[in-house]
Amino acid sequence: MLTDTAVRKAKPSERAYKLTDGGGLHLFISPSGGKLWRYRYLFDGREKTLSIGPYPEIPLADARSARDQAKRILKEGRDPSQVKKTERLSFRAKTADTFEAIAREWFDITRARWTPIHASDVLTSLERDVFPAIGFIPIRDITPPEALAVTRMIEARGAAETAGRIRQRMSAVFVYAIATGRGESDPAAIIKGALAPKKKGRQRAITDLDEARKIIRDVDASPGYAVTKLAIRLLALTAVRPGVITLTPWHELPAGATVWTIPASRMKMTLDKKSDAQRDHLVPLSRQAIQTIEALRTITGRGPMAFPNTRHVHKPMSENAMGYMLNRAGYHHRHVPHGWRSTFSTIMNERYPSDRHVIDLMLAHTPTNAVEGAYNRAQHIARRTELSQIWADLISDGLNDPIDLLSLPCR
């Protein structure tokens, strides 16, 4: 039987040698001075050796415990060396299947369905909010409280909407792990009911016609860049999304055009539909919309962008510019750029309830009925043109002509 002192004082020699402890356990000492615990045993009639580990990392007492554990495995009819190998491979697989590793794999496979901008947003959100918290944890070991802690950190900065999106993305990763045999549950689905409630009405909108007209009058009267005021005017007249307005190139608005064709590639829809020209969004231009565009043309018509950045004419205006303009006019927390869509929808649906489907088409809303969305490509352009002019007459009543905005103070 070995002692701790004998093991510690064992010196290397020209040839490797062994110090036997008993029960098949021995200390192998190499010529370089390395000391390794080994266990010799018989399995299926063959002599085999199990490497336990180096000394002094593994002291004598731990080496004997490992030998005894190996003997118990032998009594069960299993090979200790094979069991250790299996455990080692299992550990490597487990540590390789971290949340971050699987999330990046899921992202690479899924990103083909998304636009580049959305794909970037998804990956950035994971890298910023999720990977630092749980990315290093094997995905099987992540618990609902740990998933909830991720969303709580996001909620703490007042971003309940973002927390909800992050939860959905985490859930998609867990489901992918389950489908590929590396996960067992979806903790992000379990925590759904524990998230802080989202603030309703986040897209603030005034839906009274008289007050909506007053918004434009107040914007016109506020010091500011004329191009921003014209952007808000065209936004109110067409009810397109603010991001569509700011990124508009002049070639989409040729002189004399009565219909604005917005390519599907610039619309909010899934990536597989963005290349379908039949899904281009047609916006009939009212008389007032054409006047607004022509007033704008006198300012920015020589550049590529209809609504350029104030500093760089080849870059688009920031969508925030319209929001800041509305805030300066006194509508902070009352009306946002996107709110014009609600204004148009509410007022026109109240006046023309039978035209609900046409109004939804004017807003580029996707039909809730999937079959209808796939097969009904009717444009109803004649009625859309009529409603567009009716709306423009309503919202423009009492307003200055767009060209007058060019003579108002900028700041």
Burial class of residue 388 in the structure, from the number of CB atoms within 10 Å of its CB (0-12 exposed, 13-18 middle, 19+ buried) = buried
Asked if 39 and 119 sit in the same domain, the reply is no
Asked if 126 and 147 sit in the same domain, the reply is yes
Tell me which of 54, 74, 95 is where a domain ends.
95
Asked if 64 and 139 sit in the same domain, the reply is no
Burial class of residue 251 in the structure, from the number of CB atoms within 10 Å of its CB (0-12 exposed, 13-18 middle, 19+ buried) = exposed
Asked if 294 and 373 sit in the same domain, the reply is yes
How many domains would you assign to the chain?
3
Half-sphere exposure of 234 toward its Cβ, with a 13 Å CA cutoff? 31
Pull the structure tokens for residue 154: 């996001």
Asked if 375 and 227 sit in the same domain, the reply is yes
3-state per-residue secondary structure call for 132-152: HHHCCCEHHHCCHHHHHHHHH
To which H or E segment does residue 100 belong? helix 99-110
268 annotated active-site: yes
214 annotated active-site: no
- Taking only the tens place, the pLDDT of each residue in 265-300 is 877 655 555 555 567 889 999 999 999 999 999 999
Question: Is 299 inside a domain boundary?
Answer: yes
Question: Is 288 inside a domain boundary?
Answer: yes
Asked if 333 and 384 sit in the same domain, the reply is yes
Q: Decide if 235 contacts 337 (C-beta within 8 A).
A: yes
Domain that holds residue 280: 209-407
pLDDT in tens, the chain (411 residues): 889 999 999 999 999 999 999 899 999 999 989 999 999 999 988 999 999 999 999 999 999 999 999 999 999 999 998 888 877 766 655 557 899 999 999 999 998 888 777 888 899 999 999 999 999 889 999 999 999 999 999 888 777 888 999 999 999 999 999 999 999 999 999 999 998 876 554 558 899 999 999 999 999 989 888 999 999 999 999 999 998 999 999 999 999 999 999 888 877 655 555 555 567 889 999 999 999 999 999 999 899 999 998 777 778 888 889 999 999 999 988 899 999 999 999 999 999 999 999 999 999 876 555 444 444 445 688 999 999 999 999 999 988 888 888 876 555
Q: Which of 84, 111, 268, 351 is catalytic?
A: 268
Question: What is the percent of the chain where pLDDT is above 70?
Answer: 90
225 annotated active-site: no
167 annotated active-site: no
Asked if 259 and 338 sit in the same domain, the reply is yes
Q: Which of 71, 287, 365, 383 is catalytic?
A: 365
Asked if 163 and 106 sit in the same domain, the reply is yes
Asked if 90 and 116 sit in the same domain, the reply is no
What is the rounded distance in angstroms from the CA atom of residue 238 to the CA atom of residue 257?
Answer: 14
Q: CA nearest 214: which of 398, 358, 79, 19?
A: 398
Asked if 75 and 114 sit in the same domain, the reply is no
Identify the three-state secondary structure at position 178: helix
- Taking only the tens place, the pLDDT of each residue in 372-397 is 444 444 568 899 999 999 999 999 99
Asked if 91 and 110 sit in the same domain, the reply is no
Tell me which of 74, 95, 116 is where a domain ends.
95
Asked if 117 and 71 sit in the same domain, the reply is no
What does pTM read for this prediction? 0.54
**Mean residue pLDDT across the chain:** 87
Q: Which of 241, 266, 335, 384 is catalytic?
A: 241
φ/ψ of residue 95, rounded to 5: -75, -25
The CATH number of whichever domain residue 106 belongs to comes to 1.10.150.130
Q: CA nearest 226: which of 67, 410, 382, 87?
A: 410
375 annotated active-site: yes
Q: Which of 167, 182, 266, 341 is catalytic?
A: 341
φ/ψ of residue 335, rounded to 5: -155, 130
Question: Is 201 inside a domain boundary?
Answer: no
380 annotated active-site: no
Tell me which of 48, 73, 95 is where a domain ends.
95
To which H or E segment does residue 304 belong? none
Pull the structure tokens for residue 372: 């209808």
Question: Is 291 inside a domain boundary?
Answer: yes
